[in-house]
Amino acid sequence: ANFPFQRKDVYQNNQVLIEHYTYTGKLNGTNGKKYTERLPPESIAFLLVCLLIVAENAVVLIAIWKNKKFHIPMYYLLGNLTLSDLLAGLTYMINIMASGSNTLYMTPLLYFLREGCVFVMLAASIISLLAIAIERHVTMVRMKPYQGHKQGRMFALIGASWVLSVFLGVLPVLGWNCINQLEKCSTVLPLYAKSYILFCITVFSAILMSIVVLYVRIFRIVKSNTQHLATVPQRKGLYRKSQKYIALLKTVTIVLGVFIACWSPLFILFLLDFSCEVKSCKVLFKADYFLGIAVFNSLLNPIIYTLTSKDMRKAILKLLCYRCLLNADGRMKKFGLAFLDFSTTKTDAASHRLEGLETTVSSGNLPSTIKAIYPRISKI
């Protein structure tokens, strides 16, 4: 890449952007109207959705921060995913407000900044899901418990996820773009090289496949260990706790499934963009709707946490309305969504009772299967 030396003037030249938009057909006919008018009604609706995304994910982050029960590696990693969702909402808001008629006044550098932030947030979400899967895989399969000095593994995963995300997002501004090579340009993103977009989609798809493989392995191990614990009478409490652990895994799996469902249409659109000749696929001019569906994923994740986790639901209700948790006599309400809630009151109670058990049982008396499921017990 020649940036920032020979090509510095190109990155500041507004006419370059207009030339690329004209070549791809975005400024022709009815397609060009969106670049001369104010925000259309659908964009305003998307802005409201983004505000809701920011509010929802902020509540989840605060709930995780204020509740000591969630101060464990799994929830820290879920918190990192929540943070990426929150930033995705903010990024898309900025993207919408900087789009439309504002697009044609942008320099290529500002354009890469606007679109690059979307790629960074997408990469952060996918890599956060991979980090969660790796953490569970290392803990379950390799039986490496989270001792105090091992917490660095979790922070390393979080740090690495953001470093890789930013790296992927800045590649176009570092030179992997199609400036002065119009025939290699994407229609959806006229300054982006088709090869770069194909590379990103390939990387993201490979990551998602890796996550699926990791979760299949984890579920097999947990299911096998849980069935073994159920046959040991003196380990009934640990068996109930293993059920709660599986519930958390199910929640993360639902998050993964919803992510794939929301982002797949946009991935398919980009693959179509790669294969279509310029101006030949009209659906590419409707990319904003596909991106809107993808960003909708960030709206659904906090709802998934709330519906599938009784602990998270209580923490959020306590944060928003503590009185909503109390009956008229001052006692805590018993509530749940049986068809969605993977945890039970008995499981929650068993989990609290087992906190004391973890500090009294020596690892020498624990079967290897229990060590695999409960690394905090095996380290004592």
pLDDT mean over 261-277: 91
Task: Say how many C-beta atoms besides its own lie within 10 A of residue 83's C-beta.
Answer: 20
Tell me: the pLDDT tens digits for 88-144?
Answer: 999 999 988 888 888 888 899 999 999 999 899 989 988 988 888 888 777 776 554
- Of 100-114, 218-232, 260-274, the one with minimum mean pLDDT is 218-232
Report how far Cα 336 is from the mean position of its chain's Cα atoms: 26
Contacts 24+ apart (CB under 8 A), 300-303: 300/258, 300/262, 301/57, 301/81, 301/82, 301/85, 301/255, 301/258, 302/56, 302/57, 302/59, 302/60, 302/82, 302/85, 303/56
pLDDT exceeds cutoff 90 at 86: yes
Instruction: Give percent of the chain above pLDDT 90.
Output: 21
pLDDT exceeds cutoff 50 at 357: no
Q: Which residues 6+ apart lie within 8 Å of 63 measured at CB?
A: 70, 312, 315, 316, 318, 319
For residue 171, give Cα distances in angstroms to 2, 70, 98, 165: 13, 36, 21, 10
What class has domain 7-325? Answer: mainly alpha
pLDDT mean over 201-229: 81
Report which of residues 256 and 199 the model is more confident about: 199
What pTM was estimated for this model as a whole? 0.76
* pLDDT score for 152: 76
In this prediction, residue 193 has a pLDDT band, given cuts at 50, 70 and 90, of: very high
pLDDT exceeds cutoff 60 at 289: yes
Count of alpha carbons within 13 angstroms of residue 243, beta-carbon side: 19
pLDDT exceeds cutoff 50 at 2: no
Nearest 5°: the CA angle 308, 310, 315 is 115
Confirm if 89 and 298 have CB atoms less than 8 A apart: yes
Q: Which two tokens stand for residue 214?
A: 């990791």
Report how far Cα 160 is from the mean position of its chain's Cα atoms: 15
Q: Which two tokens stand for residue 102?
A: 């504002």
In the chain, where the domains are located: 7-325
Report which of residues 236 and 49 the model is more confident about: 49
| Beta pairing partners, 315 | none
How far, in Å, CA of 74 to CA of 305, rounded? 13
Tell me: the pLDDT tens digits for 296-311?
Answer: 888 888 888 777 777 7
Report which of residues 313 and 270 the model is more confident about: 270
Task: Say how many C-beta atoms besides its own lie within 10 A of residue 71's C-beta.
Answer: 12
pLDDT exceeds cutoff 80 at 263: yes
How far, in Å, CA of 83 to CA of 76, rounded? 10
In this prediction, residue 265 has a pLDDT band, given cuts at 50, 70 and 90, of: very high
Residue whose C-alpha is closest to residue 131's, from 255, 315, 291, 269: 255
How far, in Å, CA of 359 to CA of 357, rounded? 5
pLDDT mean over 218-233: 67
pLDDT mean over 178-205: 91
How far, in Å, CA of 50 to CA of 92, rounded? 7
Tell me: the pLDDT tens digits for 42-76?
Answer: 788 889 999 999 998 999 899 888 888 787 777 88
* pLDDT score for 272: 93
